[in-house]
Amino acid sequence: MLEKIWLSSPHMGGGEQKYVQEAFDTNWVAPLGPNVNGFEKDLEEYVGENSKVACLASGTSALHLALILAGVRNGDEVLCQSMTFSASANPIVYQGATPVFIDSEQDTWNMCPSALEEAIEDSIAKGKKPKAIIVVHLYGMPAKMDEILAISKKYDIILIEDAAEALGSTYKGQKCGAFGDFGILSFNGNKIITTSGGGALVCNNEEDKQRAIFLATQARDNVPHYQHSHIGYNYRMSNIVAGIGRGQMEVLDKHIGFRRANNQFYQELFENVEGITVLTESTSEYFSNHWLSAVIIDENKTGFSREDLRLALENENIESRPLWKPMHLQPVFKDCKYYGENVSEKLFENGLCLPSGSNLSHDDRSRIKEVISKMIK
Ligand SMILES: *Cc1c(COP(=O)(O)O)cnc(C)c1O
């Protein structure tokens, strides 16, 4: 059996262990320390736009804290892109709030601005303005931020950007994660950079950042003994993990280059194939890190389905995966409201993510090309 080609696997740059060693040498083996501060500073400089970053245990915990800082509580409604990973929506339920799911649009596969506005109007008409909007930059593709920001402003609703998959992506030159009232990042094992597990909350001001750190470290009042006036969480990032992050930041832009080259490879591979579209930027305003490259297959034109292609790849020990199953179709969210015209449903039925790691080798691409060429001949 040939070696497995993964969808997206960790890709170390070589500098990570130096920072981890430093943590051991100085005995900063704790959920705070110079690596945590250093990684936060690296991220603040990278994301820009005066962002203030708090490093946390995961992207999911970052979203949870964003909702708490946004004042989301029991009984509130939160609008969330339906086409996403469940981690975008789960923290809404942690807060006792109710998710309302919004469909995608065709250009970016992200939140459809008109379905979003329809949902808001509908909620307001029923006497209940939603508390927050969670927009996702899926697979690294920036969402239609001009429209979505305008809606968040018009209705004065807090905007949370789930940029877990989009570190390094930009829209009109501005980094994803820096548009909303809050942004979240993930450094899980298969993301564009990884710390083995971890995440970050991007805030607009130091006050929010400090509040997030306070909540993430068990909400200890500022007195010598342990005293608590609020419910806290254990969500802070460890100094060991942050060391890996600092090393990964040294290679982030290089790795984005590799991921973008993968997307180019797939675009060329499918260039003259009728019925297959590769997700790519619709205009030069968008710059995707192309965390994952994905295609939509029109079976009527190709004669094979996305499942046929997935199985053909699997047969050669090559991993691929259907697109995220929309949240409004998930058993756990089946009773939630949904606005849209089933764009996300069709994307899910016909879409496939292809191997996209920044460590994909020339030989790996040849093997992928061979399987795909056989299918489309
Ligand atoms: C990975 C991911 C998350 C969650 O991040 P974790 O660090 O795994 O908790 C949230 N949203 C999206 C879209 C993701 O892909």
Q: Does the domain spanning 16-251 belong to CATH 3.40.640.10?
A: yes
85 CA distance to ligand 1 middle (Å):
7
Closest CA to 120 of 111, 132, 130: 130
For a substitution probing ligand 1, which of 81, 88, 323, 356 has the most ligand atoms within 8 Å of its CB? 88
Are domains 16-251 and 253-376 of this chain identical in fold? no
| DSSP secondary structure code for residue 127 in this structure | T
87 CA distance to ligand 1 middle (Å):
6
Low-confidence residues in the chain, pLDDT < 70: none
**Residues 109, 350: contact at Cβ < 8 Å?**
no
Paired residues of 296 in beta bridges: 277, 351
Number of Cβ atoms within 10 Å of the Cβ of 160: 30
Positive or negative, the CA dihedral 51, 262, 86, 340 is positive
Positive or negative, the CA dihedral 270, 275, 281, 284 is positive
Atom 14 of ligand 1, residue of closest alpha carbon: 164
Strand pairing of 174-175 and 170-171? antiparallel
289 CA distance to ligand 1 middle (Å):
16
Atom 6 of ligand 1, residue of closest alpha carbon: 59
For a substitution probing ligand 1, which of 139, 165, 291 has the most ligand atoms within 8 Å of its CB? 165
Q: Is 80 in the pocket of ligand 1 (CB under 6 A)?
A: no
Note the pLDDT of residue 49: 85
What are the extents of the domains in the chain?
16-251, 253-376
Note the pLDDT of residue 377: 81
Paired residues of 159 in beta bridges: 133
Note the pLDDT of residue 233: 98
Paired residues of 160 in beta bridges: 134, 182
| Model pTM score | 0.97
Note the pLDDT of residue 14: 94
Burial of residue 373 (CB within 10 Å: 0-12, 13-18, 19+) is exposed
Q: What superfamily would CATH give domain 253-376? A: Aspartate Aminotransferase, domain 1 (3.90.1150.10)
Nearest-atom index, ligand 1, CA of 138: 13
